[in-house]
Structure 1
Amino acid sequence: MNTKNKERIEKMRSLIAVPKIVMLATRLDKIPFSVCPMTLQRIDEQGDIWFFSSKNSSHFKDIEYDNRVQIIYSDEAEQTYISIFGNATHIVDDQKVDELWNPMLNNWYEGKDDPNLALLNVNINNAYYWDTDESRLVSFFELITGIASNDETDFGDKGEINLQNH
């Protein structure tokens, strides 16, 4: 997606030291939604987030039903808290598997050729982080465009800012 602001992507990448364990929420249309821990492998130059996934996992099946996801990131030591909303896609790409593969993944998969192995790509639509100094939620859009102020953030009618359209 070429409409993403490179500064915003770099800020997010600086806040999330990868690989990190995050909580991936799926089936956002039901209560309670499904949540599972995932190891974030990379945030690429386009701002997409990459994971490895098991084809027989519940979240893999959830994404086939509804590809909207939420990623919750927390690093208490650094006081970094991020909420990311996006759309997930299953990707088949042996070159990308080679690029992202880490030997620690052998704990969950039977190597890079495991027939159950899949890539999961999340294209970010909206993202917010907790500004500890100001004790408030800040959209990455607000941060990068320099419109941050002491006023409350305008999250619009649906309580969110769509970062793709700004």
Structure 2
Amino acid sequence: MSEIKHTKTDPADVFWGTAEDTRFGMLGVKGTDQHMQPMTHFVDRKGKALWFVTSRETDLAKTIGEGWQTKMSGDGTEAKFTIVSKGQDVQISAKGRLHYSDEKDKHEELWNPVIGAWFEGKDDPNLVVYRFELEEAAIWASTDSTFVFAWEIAKAQGRDKDPDVGVHEVINF
């Protein structure tokens, strides 16, 4: 099934499948003038969340805060995360809230050799984990076929109709 058809019939599955297949995206915090930053994410379908591991020393972590700063407000920090599929035929922009996590079980679950290359161990005081509680995602799926794209562009020339090269859906979590 093409991603266009799949996005029309089950956009949530396209979101989760793309997030699982694509290991990184761009994360940004609302209300700051920071650029979005490349981040590896960990998928939690059941919890309707993505998880991130970073260092306390990053601008991102300093902006988001941790511990009592995010737990006392309960609301988390508004953020956006963008993912582009490997084939570049699916683009996703997700909105949600980042929450600091001090859950040791989650730290243990997410730990892997790649994270270990950046930290001195699971108990490194600079290691912080955030849960991105998903609220909404916009999904664009387009053809990955050069022929189909060219055909649709050619058909649209001289007609009062846009080329049919993709679909846009919005899902709420």
TM-score normalised over the length of structure 2:
0.68
CA-based RMSD:
2.2
Q: Write the deviation string for residues 69-113 of structure 1: whole angstroms up to 9, x where unpaired.
A: 100101241512110000001100111111111111122111211
CA–CA distance in 2 between the matches of 1:19 and 1:90?
23
The structure whose Rg is larger is 2
SS at match of 1:29: coil
The aligned counterpart of 2:169 is: 138
Which residue, out of 68, 86, 91, partners 2:101?
91
Question: Does the 8 Å contact 1:42/1:50 carry over to 2?
Answer: yes
Match in the other structure for 1:74: 84
Gaps of 5+ in 2: 1-9, 70-75, 144-164
Deviation at 1:126, TM superposition (A): 1.2
Say if 1:75 and 1:81, in contact at 8 Å, map to a contact too.
yes
> Match for 2:31 among 13, 25, 29?
29
Structure 1: gaps (5+ residues): 1-6, 141-162
59-68 or 41-50, larger mean C-alpha shift: 59-68
Structure 2 equivalent of residue 14 of structure 1: 17
Kept in 1, the 8 Å contact 2:79–2:96? The answer is yes
Q: Using CA pairs under 8 Å that are at least 6 residues apart, name the structure with larger relative contact order, 1 or 2.
A: 2
How far residue 43 of structure 1 moved from its aligned partner, in angstroms, is: 2.5
Contact 2:11 2:169 in 1 (8 A): no
Partners of 1:20 and 1:123 lie apart in 2 by 18
Per the alignment, residue 153 of structure 1 pairs with none
Paired residues in the alignment total 134
TM-score by length of 1: 0.71
% identical equivalent positions = 22
Residues 42 and 51 of structure 1 are in contact (CA less than 8 Å); yes or no, is this contact kept in structure 2?
no
Which residues of 2 match residues 27-66 of structure 1 at below 5 A? Answer: 28-30=30-32, 32-64=33-65
